[in-house]
Amino acid sequence: MADIRHIYADNAATTRMSKTAIEAMLPYMDKIYGNPSSLYSIGQDAKEALEEARQDVAALLGCSPKEIYFTSGGSEADNQAIRSAALFGAKKNKKHIISSKFEHHAVLHTLDKLAKEGFEITLLDVGPRGIVDPKLVADSIREDTALVTIMYANNEIGTIQPIRQIGAVCKEKGVIFHTDAVQAAGHISIDVKDQNIDMLSLSAHKFHGPKGCGVLYSRLGIPLINIIEGGAQERGKRGGTENVPAIMGMAAALKEACGNIQKNTEHLLPLRNRLIDGLNRISYSELNGDADSRLPGNVNFCFEGIEGESLLLLLDDKGISASSGSACTSGSLDPSHVLLAIGRPHEVAHGSLRLSLGEEATEEDIDYIIESVNDVVTYLRNMSPFWRDLTEGKRPHIFEE
């Protein structure tokens, strides 16, 4: 029997753990399993390792270890950052928050709640390229703006935001700037001081670390509130016994990923562009988001006359793991808020495909993906009454042929 090919092209949803990360974790499950708050030596050894991990993460982000808080992941870090900045602002009668229409739901749903609690939220347009204009941020800041939160790279369409410029605008106007850097960390460079970032969230499982572990960087001087009440861990800002093995794995994975950014980018960029060119040859299809300012491994397309879910299932049959958008929206019938934000009409927003490549991807994989998507799109269109209407001119096409 021929080998069944398997291509994992959903690295924006999660990644496989690296050997380095797994090895960094093992001793802390087995030999050094003590509670970092305990006074005997296996506790203190775990505590020491934890503080070394904090120093490593701080060095990689360009901040002080005193500005690093370990969390249960990107969602928790987003919640804590936004709620902390909101409360800090509210104490000074600042109850306006600026964000964008295509943030992750960890950000958008937190903002929805804050709106119910009396905050005023402005969600900025991102335009057809999927990029937030720093000038729009500047024009939207008011006397009572407490926080600007804009993601570094979008999780669906991979577009990279002008973070340094947005940070500079906020700094000049004295507004706290938070960025959800979950898709960026370990994939493109981060330097929080150079990029004028006050608060930043990241998540280990998006850069080959373990799931359920993340970081909140918060500049000294911004008072954090607790999302998890409990003991005095994380300088009293995050209760609960630290997940020492996961934190060790995360620090090792981040160090490895940051060290490989240049190499991985050089490998992935030509593959990503080959994939974009190949999918562009399919009729009535379009790339979502800017072609250049995007993550080296991200490709996201809309195909006219296609149901995203069927496309995914048939690609799975061909051994390709892909996504129609974020893992959180798939399974629901609502079209992606990200695709709607860049102006895609509902009909085509349902026919989206996200392929997020891993470092192991080869040119052969890319060609196999292109061929498979082409076959599946053709097959689905031939079966679709909706597509027949389009070809018979009973409905207008949305994309150019």
One-letter amino acid identity for 153? Answer: A
Total binding residues toward ligand PLP, as defined by CB under 6 A: 14
Q: How far is the CB of 395 from ligand PLP (least distance, A)?
A: 35
Q: Which amino acid is at 331?
A: G
Q: Which amino acid is at 10?
A: D
What SS3 class is residue 297? coil
Q: Which CB, 56 or 180, lies closer to ligand PLP?
A: 180
Place of tokens 């947005």: 166
- Determine, following the binding rule CB under 6 A, whether residue 151 of this chain makes contact with ligand PLP: yes
Nearer to ligand PLP by C-beta: 75 or 336?
75
| Residue span binding ligand PLP (CB under 6 A) among the ranges 178-186, 250-258, 304-312, 372-380 | 178-186
Backbone angles phi, psi at 135, to 5 degrees: -70, -35
Query: Exactly one of 213, 258, 302, 328 is catalytic; which is it?
Result: 328
Residue of the chain from 104, 272, 344, 354 that contacts ligand PLP (CB under 6 A)? 104
Return the number of the residue (15 or 372) whose C-beta is nearest ligand PLP.
15
Tell me how many helices (H) and strands (E) the chain has.
14, 12
CA distance 255 to 237: 25
Least Å distance, CB 242 to ligand PLP, is 16
Angle (CA) 157-302-127 rounded to 5° is 50
177-185, 248-256, 347-355, 371-379 -> range binding ligand PLP (CB under 6 A):
177-185
Q: Which is nearer to ligand PLP, 216 or 380 (CB)?
A: 216
Residues 6+ apart with CB under 8 A from 358: 8, 9, 11, 15, 16, 297
Q: CA 307 to CA 353: how far, in whole Å?
A: 10
249 binding ligand PLP? (CB under 6 A)? no
Q: Report DSSP letters for 241-296, one per residue.
A: ---HHHHHHHHHHHHHHHHTHHHHHHHHHHHHHHHHHHHHTSTTEEE-S-SSSB-T
Q: Which range binds ligand PLP by CB under 6 A, 22-30, 175-183, 255-263, 311-319? A: 175-183
Distance CA 278, CA 285 (A): 11
The residue among 141 and 357 lying less far from ligand PLP, judged by its C-beta, is 357
Which residue stretch of 53-61, 71-79, 161-169, 190-198 sits at the interface with ligand PLP (rule: CB under 6 A)?
71-79
Minimal distance in Å, beta carbon 78 to ligand PLP? 6
CA distance 286 to 299: 11
The interface region with ligand PLP, picked from 73-81, 226-234, 359-367, 378-386 by CB under 6 A, is: 73-81
Measure the CA–CA gap between 189 and 185, rounded to whole angstroms.
Answer: 7
376 near 318, Cβ under 8 Å?
yes
Q: Does 15 bind ligand PLP (CB under 6 A)?
A: no
Piece in contact with ligand PLP (CB under 6 A), picked from 82-90, 180-188, 252-260, 307-315: 180-188
Q: How far is CA 7 from the centre of its chain?
A: 21
Rule CB under 6 A: choose which of 86, 147, 182, 244 binds ligand PLP: 182
75 binds ligand PLP (CB under 6 A): yes
Q: Dihedral, CA atoms, 254, 256, 257, 263, nearest 10 degrees?
A: 160
- Under the binding rule (CB under 6 A), the answer on residue 214 touching ligand PLP is yes
Among 9, 106, 131, 311, binds ligand PLP (CB under 6 A): 106
183 binds ligand PLP per the rule CB under 6 A: yes
Is residue 74 a contact residue for ligand PLP (CB under 6 A)? yes
CB 215 within 8 A of CB 80: no
For the bound state, the minimum distance from the C-beta of residue 398 to ligand PLP, rounded and expressed in Å, comes to: 27
10 touches ligand PLP by CB under 6 A: no
Please indicate whether residue 302 is annotated as part of the active site: no
Residues lying near ligand PLP in the complex (CB under 6 A): 73-75, 78, 104, 106, 151, 155, 180, 182-183, 203, 206, 214
Catalytic residue positions, numbered: 328
